[in-house]
Chain A
Amino acid sequence: MDPAVAGQYVLNGLMLGMIYAMVAVGFTLFFGVLDVIKFSHGDVVMAGAFTALATLGGLSAGGVVSAAVLVVAATAVAVAAMALLGALIARTLILPLRNAPSLNTLLITLMLGLALREAVRLFYPNGSNPKPFPRLLPADAWSAGGFSLRADSAILLVAGLSAIVAVHLIIHRTRLGLAIRAVAQDPETARVMGVNFEAVVMITFGIGSALAALAGVGDALYYNEINFGMGLWLGVIGFSAAVVGGLGSLYGAILGGFLFAALQTVGAIWFAVPAYKDVFAFGAVILLMAWKPTGLIAEKSAERV
């Protein structure tokens, strides 16, 4: 294969992997801190993208034209709104069900995801149609042969990486992170040591959901289109990535995200009918799970999150 074209495939895969990794990190955070699987996570990604779109609409109507201001403001609003939503979900749905069987949390978040999805479809103006998302990032492209790197892709890649690094730093370098890790390790002891358990859980869900919002906005800026169903698929893939990487491990989620994107890209190149690429990717995930049931980077209970 022509190296330029190969490079293009790698770049495509990296972009996909970045979005998957950001979603997967959320799953892993929630599981790490509270041992719950929150299936509405994908729909929070979608809600984040729609919040950004609504903000953009409002700002444009208010006369803001600078693309940079629009991007930053819309992203900030989406991230803040989803962080609040995440904390709210933790407060009202996850924490009260903490002592119930984990199947209940799974079900209730599945239902919440459905409610979010349908709410956007029904109440967002014309929400059942795919929505164009404005092209706000510079579109300058650098190309060589079959390879082209666009400025917007590069910006999104760097932004995504920084976000993941930031989450990593919060968890490993701050007092808040220490509290999160303490709760993850042993909630009862953490409580005894004076950690505000409920606040830590809410903040963790806030962080995970903020990352989801960022993934949603990134996805929107990359594909320039959002729709109410986008979260469903991203949720399933993000979850699979987190599981295959090792649920509860931050590095595992990142690895899983990029791995899944790589599998999809390879599948699309290999098969005459690219529709089989998902079958291939999920099939590979099943094999990996059979080989390493706890994920590639298994969570050690002493250092989870």
Chain B
Amino acid sequence: MFRRALVLASLLLATLAADAKETVKIAFIGPLTGGVSANGLGGRNSADLAVRLRNADAGARYTYELTVLDDECKPNIGVQVATKAAADRKIVAGVTHYCSAVAMGTVDVYHRFGLPVIVWGAVLPDITYANDYKEIHRVNGTMINQNDVAAKFMVGLKYRKWAVIHDTTDYGKGHNKYFSEDIAKLGGTIVGTFGVSADQQDFNAELTKIKELKPEVIYFGGLTPIGVRIRSQMDKLGIKAVFQGTSGIVSDAFIEGLGPLAEGTLAFREGAPAEKLPGGKFFLEQYQKQGYSEGPEAYGAFAYAAANLIMDAIEKVGPDRRKVAAELRKTKNHQSIVGPVTFDDHGQNMVPLITKFVVQDGKWMVWEDSEYASGKRKLPRAP
């Protein structure tokens, strides 16, 4: 009798395993076209990699499918595609947005439709902190931490006079606000602040004015495309100040756009660089293996981690939006390739770590490993 039951049970198990796994859809949204598309494509590939690896894992309960949408880094388009994703009941959760202005515009949509999302690149604090939406999470840090570290670091290098150029989106304005506050606290001065539009081509008028003000550092709060233009036009006008950017310019496209002129540019980004983390090495190897035509860029690892967090939650509680949101909110000390992830009660990952970068020989180097830190090379210093 007992033996018969055992045979039956094993038969049952066998049929279960042979059954096709249920397919679960996850959305990825980022800027796949336009000036910052390099970051968007890197994020997409990274999320795709997470899904592929999970599908190759026989132990996974579900088969995952990534629905990729392009927000073009434009809030109006972002709201359209966010609505599209949120309205699709088959999509259980989303890995969403690199651009802060877009993420700001879409949080209400996700809340209204109850779609749990994890932001993978946008750094404006308000995305998680200006609302109590239980659907919204973020794996990367905010610009508050970023600018805090940046200001202390720069003052530590004995710089005292800044001119600020920022784009007039939420992203640039936020950076300007937090950095200016921090610098004022630390006793530095800001000799001029210039809000510019995010697609401006010519900065000669602004830079001529800045040249007159003689700052030691030009702080730039904005994204890669205009960062490239400003740095290049600074050189043409013979401005010798240090160029200090934010996480928005930490991309290979910045260096490709400037060539040797990128040398000595400073920037700050939350999280440790992927190659410095144990899981990061695995990530980069697997990424190579898939043969994507674009690199993962600065935030790829975050998109990868976000996709994995979502899939882990789905594995645990099943493909149900509300349960997944609740499960994500409980995330505590979850090991990921960007370090341990813990969400606070706003869904914000409390990443303690901010990495300082400097461009050396056409590469973003971690400051501590660079020849600038060792004193072999020197940043420009105004007379």
Residues on A lying within 8 angstroms of B by beta carbon are 2, 5, 8-9, 12, 15-16, 121, 128-132, 141, 143, 146, 148, 150, 153, 223-225, 227, 229-230, 233, 264-265, 268-269, 272-275, 277-278
CA distance A230 to B34 in the complex (A): 11
Best-buried of A130, A233, A273, A274 by chain B (most CB within 10 Å): A130
Q: Which of B208, B228, B229 has the most CB of A within 10 A?
A: B208
B residues bordering A, Cβ < 8 Å?
33-35, 37-38, 168, 193-197, 199-202, 204-206, 208-209, 211-212, 224-225, 228-229, 232-233, 236-238, 253, 256-259
A-B contact pairs, 25 of them (CB 8 A): A2-B212, A12-B202, A12-B204, A12-B208, A16-B204, A128-B37, A129-B38, A129-B253, A130-B35, A130-B225, A130-B229, A132-B257, A153-B236, A223-B202, A229-B199, A230-B201, A233-B199, A233-B201, A265-B205, A268-B209, A269-B209, A273-B194, A274-B194, A274-B196, A275-B168
Known: A2-B212, A9-B208. A227 touches B232 (CB 8 A): no
Contact of A275 among B195, B204, B238 (CB under 8 A): B195
Question: What is the CA–CA distance of A130 and B256 in the complex, to the nearest angstrom?
Answer: 8
9 closest Cβ pairs, A-B complex: A268-B205, A12-B204, A273-B195, A128-B37, A275-B197, A129-B253, A275-B168, A130-B257, A8-B208
Contact of B205 among A129, A130, A148, A264 (CB under 8 A): A264
Q: A233-B199, A277-B205 are in contact. Are A223 and B253 (CB under 8 A)?
A: no
- Distance (whole angstroms) from the CB of A195 to the closest CB of chain B: 40
Q: A5-B208, A5-B212, A121-B33 are in contact. Are A129 and B195 (CB under 8 A)?
A: no
Residues of chain A lying within 8 A (CB to CB) of residue B256: 129, 132
Q: Is A148 a contact of B212 with CB atoms below 8 Å?
A: no
**Residue in A132, A227, A233, A273 whose beta carbon sits within 8 Å of that of B35 in the complex:** A227
CB-CB under 8 A for A269 and B224, given A132-B258, A132-B259:
no
Contacts of A269 in B (CB 8 A): 205, 209
In the complex formed, the residue of B with least CB distance to A232 is B199
Which chain B residues border A272 with CB–CB below 8 Å? 193
**With the chains together, A214 CA to B201 CA distance in Å?**
18
In the bound assembly, the distance between CA atoms of A173 and B196 in angstroms comes to 45
Asked if B233 contacts A223 (CB within 8 A), the reply is yes
When chains A and B are docked, how far (Å) is the Cα of A115 from the Cα of B205? 33
Chain B residues near A153 (CB, 8 Å)? 236
On whether A225 and B33 interact (CB within 8 A), knowing A128-B38, A132-B259, A274-B206, the answer reads: no
Contacts of B199 in A (CB 8 A): 229, 233
Known: A130-B229, A227-B225, A275-B200. 5 other contacts (CB 8 A): A9-B205, A12-B202, A128-B37, A132-B258, A265-B205
Complex contacts, A148 vs chain B, CB 8 Å: 237-238
**Are A141 and B238 within 8 A (Cβ)?**
yes
Give chain A residues whose Cβ lies under 8 Å from the Cβ of B193: 272
**Which residues of the other chain, B, contact A277 by a CB distance below 8 angstroms?**
205
Contact A130 B228 (CB under 8 A): yes
Query: What chain B residues lie within 8 Å of A224 (beta carbons)?
Result: 232
Contact A225 B37, beta carbon cutoff 8 Å? no
Contact of B211 with A146 in the complex, beta carbons under 8 Å:
yes
Q: Kindly state the separation between the CA atoms of A9 and B206 in the bound complex, as whole angstroms.
A: 10
**Assembled-state Cα–Cα distance A131/B257 (Å):** 5
**Nearest residue, chain A, Cβ from B204:** A12
Q: Does the CB pair A16–B202 fall under 8 Å?
A: yes
Query: With the chains together, A12 CA to B37 CA distance in Å?
Result: 30
CA distance A2 to B209 in the complex (A): 11
A178 CB, nearest partner CB in chain B, Å? 38
> Is the CB–CB distance between B206 and A225 below 8 Å?
no
Please tell me if the beta carbons of B34 and A146 are within 8 angstroms of each other in the complex. Answer: no
The smallest beta-carbon distance between B237 and chain A, in angstroms, is 7
The closest CB in chain A to the CB of B40 belongs to A128
Most central of A5, A129, A224 by chain B CB within 10 Å: A129
A223 touches B201 (CB 8 A): yes
Given contact pairs A146-B212, A223-B232, A268 touches B206 in the complex (Cβ within 8 A): yes
In the bound complex, how far is the Cα of B204 from the Cα of A264, in angstroms? 11
Query: A130, B253: Cβ atoms under 8 Å?
Result: yes
Q: How far is the CA of A150 from the CA of B204 in the complex (A)?
A: 13
Q: Give the docked Cα–Cα distance between A89 and B206 (Å).
A: 38
Give min CB distance, A68 to chain B, whole Å: 20
Residues of B close to A121: CB separation below 8 A: 33
Complex Cα distance, B237 from A141, in Å, reads 9
Give chain B nearest CB distance to A97 CB in angstroms: 30
User: Which residues of B lie under 8 Å from residue A273 when comparing CB positions?
Assistant: 168, 194-195
User: With the chains together, A33 CA to B238 CA distance in Å?
Assistant: 44
